[in-house]
Amino acid sequence: MSEYPPAIDTELPVSPGEGRYLCGLLYRTLLDEPPIGNGELAEYLGVSGASVSEMIDAFDEAGLVEYEPYRGATLTGDGERLAREILWRRCVVNRFFDRIGGIDLAAEQAYQIGCLLGEADVEALARQVDQPCRTRCLADNAEDCAELAV
C-alpha cells in the first residue's frame, strides 16, 4: 500500500507517490545527461532499487519513460510534461502559502497539496501570486529554479 493518499480530483494520471519518481527523473535529467540509472534515482529519492525498477517498468509501459536495461531511463515528451506540471503545482502552492498566508510549507506538504488540488484550483492560486511559470515548470537546468531541487 502506498504511503500517500489516493489522488482526489487532481486530473493527474499518476498518484502523488508515482509522481515523485517522475519529478526525480526530471530533476536528475536537468543535472546530468540521461539516461538516469535506477541506482542513481533510488539514491536521490531515498527508496529501494526494486521500487525504482518496478516504477520505471510501469512508466515504460505507459509511455512516460523509455527504459534501456543496464543504462537507465529517459523521460518521454509525455513524461516530461507531466513531471513539469507536478513540479509547477508544488511551486504554486508553496508560493501561495508563503506570499499570501506567510506560511513556510515543507516541500512535501506543498507537493501533497498540489497533487490533491484540481487543475482549475491550482490555476486560481497561481493567479494570486507572482508565478513565473504558467501551467508547468520551465527550468532548463537544475540551477534555474531554487524550488526545483526541494
What is the tens place of the pLDDT at every residue in 24-60? 999 999 998 899 999 999 999 999 999 999 999 999 9
Rounded to an integer, what distance in angstroms lies between the CA atom of residue 57 and that of residue 104?
36
Is the CB of residue 90 less than 8 Å from the CB of residue 96? Answer: no
- Closest by CA to 105, choosing from 83, 128, 119, 89, is 89
Q: Structure pTM? A: 0.86
Percentage of the residues of the chain whose pLDDT score is greater than 90: 71
